[in-house]
Amino acid sequence: SVMPERIAATQADGEYCLMAANGNVFETAWYMRGFEEMFMDFVLNGDLVHEIMKRIVDFYAEHFRKMLSAAKGGIDLVFTADDIGDQRVLMIPLEMWEEFIKPYHARLNETIHEFGVRIIYHSDGSVAEAVPGLLDMGIDVLQALQFSADGMDPAELKQKYGHRLCFEGGVSVQTTLPFGTQEDVRQEVEELITILGKNGGYILGPSHAIQAGTPPENIAAMFDTAENFYPFS
């Protein structure tokens, strides 16, 4: 009931993109079930997995339905998430992801889209193999773009999916921001804007939360470069 009041207060001194959170279906399941146990369930107890996922989506669908109804059009994005990739590959085979996880996000996304709200989806790691399926299940923005993971090439992602998908993130919190120079940060930011920002569809940012110990001057270099670099005519 307080949503309209809070939205109005936030927008009082300028127009911001407002995001509601957080629909992480698979992660919620393994938080309850246990990480190792959940992966065993994929193989040995599929009926239980489906029942757990169904009930989680029942909850999140109602959560966002109530929130977005109360917001009366004031929310622009809903943040959804499920880490499905590690540094090298997907954490489970693609076919298993398509059976046990994808349908439940698709159902949640359908509910969110009923309100005209865009969906931003987060996964770390090597997820290029799953991007066609992520599009099928209805995401609008892919985040956080861990390009240090295997198979995550910004030029290839933009070329294949840039006409259908917005990208957010990408500046490495594993290498460039914590351990690079200011010039390294500037070069990476300029490269990502040049590749992913062509014809629009890119929100620049770090590839995850900026980690403790990151030099403040590198953080400033990321924002300063983003503000001042625009290579497109």
Phi/psi class of residue 169: alpha, beta or left (left: φ > 0; alpha: ψ in -120 to 50)? left
Hunting for tokens 């009930």 — which residue is that?
Answer: 55
Hunting for tokens 């929310």 — which residue is that?
Answer: 75
Q: Which residues pair with 20 in a beta bridge?
A: 78
Please state the three-class secondary structure of 123-180 as a single string.
CCCCCHHHHHHHHHCCCCEEEECCCCCCCCCHHHHHHHHCCCCEEEEEECCCCHHHHC
CA distance 207 to 214: 13
Of 10, 109, 37, residue with least CA distance to 68: 109
3-state secondary structure of 69: helix
| Distance between start and end Cα atoms, the chain | 45
pTM of the model: 0.95
Which pLDDT score, from 0 to 100, does residue 79 have? 98
3-state secondary structure of 91: coil
Residue 163: phi and psi, rounded to 5, are -75, -15
Contacts of 178 (CB under 8 A, 6+ apart): 211, 213, 214, 215, 218
Handedness of CA 170, 176, 178, 182 (dihedral sign): negative
Residue 165: band (very low, low, confident or very high) from pLDDT cuts 50, 70, 90: very high
CA distance 133 to 131: 5
Is the pLDDT confidence value at 156 over 80?
A: yes
Which pLDDT score, from 0 to 100, does residue 78 have? 98
204: its two tokens: 């620049």
109: its two tokens: 């996304």
Judge whether 27 and 82 are in contact, CB under 8 Å.
Answer: yes
Dump pLDDT digits (tens) for 43-92: 999 999 999 999 999 999 999 999 999 999 999 999 999 999 999 999 99
Is the pLDDT confidence value at 233 over 80?
A: no
Strand order in the sheet with 166-171: 19-23, 77-81, 118-122, 141-144, 166-171, 202-206
